[in-house]
Structure 1
Amino acid sequence: MSIGTMYQSGDWKGEKHVPVIHAPESAKKGEEIEVKVLVGEQIPHPNTLEHYIAWIKVYFKADEGKFPVEIATISFAAHGESEILTNPFGVVRFKVPASGSIIAASYCNIHGLWENSAAIAVTE
């Protein structure tokens, strides 16, 4: 079995586990962009001690690239400690080298792996 077959996707407006990506649709080559990722924008994820998002990962894959590059891992490690319940939200910035896709993956401790992607066009 391949781990790729374990990732689930869907319409983030109708599914509370799909990571939502807020990123520009275009940028200039080498320009720093800001990417916001979160889970549960339209339908909030429960975020209880029993049911929570443990992490979100952000990748970039250039259209001409061989494989995606991991940009960030946002871990919600303190979830439940001292009655702290975390919201799965993060912001990352990076210089975009070429046109490609921003990919976000998240992990729910009950419902497993989820993914989403957003294209970005890069001009000279």
Structure 2
Amino acid sequence: MAKKFGDLIYSPEVAAGEAVSKVETHTPKIEAPDEVKAGEPFYIKIKVGPHPNTLQHSIRWIEVYFEEEGRAFNPIMLSRIHLEPELVEPEVTLKLVLKKSGVIYALEYCNLHGVWEGRKAITVK
């Protein structure tokens, strides 16, 4: 039977077997404040690695989503960044403006080790 796509995404909590050794180098790290003011811009940074950046082995894209508290249909896709091997490092900065609390999710795709997820809760005051 086919798995749900979500079951194919790795995260530190579900990595098993050989994937455990890839957690540190593949889980997207989200740098963001724990708390922000409603309607005021702030920055988040998502980075992956240290990780190789060759044609044979590299991070090819990063997607960023927001699960907004109380929203009927989540998540909201905030950004998708294509990364060209050898030319672009897997690190992006976004300027956000939130009205409600929620969770930022970052997904990255490694051409050898699949899709990995990182997340961070942000409280809006």
Identity across matched positions, percent? 40
CA RMSD of aligned residues (A): 1.6
Amino acid at match of 1:70: M
Q: How high is the TM-score relative to the length of structure 1?
A: 0.85
Unaligned runs of 5+ in 1: none
- Aligned residue in 2 for 1:63: 69
Identify the structure with the greater strand proportion: 1
Cα distance per residue 1:67-122 (max 9 Å; x no partner): 1101111111x32xxxx442101011121110100110000000000001000011
Q: 2 CA distance for matches of 1:33 and 1:68?
A: 20
Q: 2 CA distance for matches of 1:85 and 1:16?
A: 19
Identify the structure with the greater helix proportion: 2
Q: How high is the TM-score relative to the length of structure 2?
A: 0.85
Unaligned runs of 5+ in 2: 14-22
1:35 to 34, 41, 44: 44
Q: Secondary structure at the match of 1:16?
A: helix
Q: 2 CA distance for matches of 1:10 and 1:25?
A: 20
Q: 1 CA distance for matches of 2:109 and 2:45?
A: 17
The 8 Å contact of residues 48 and 85 in structure 1, kept in 2 or not, is answered as no
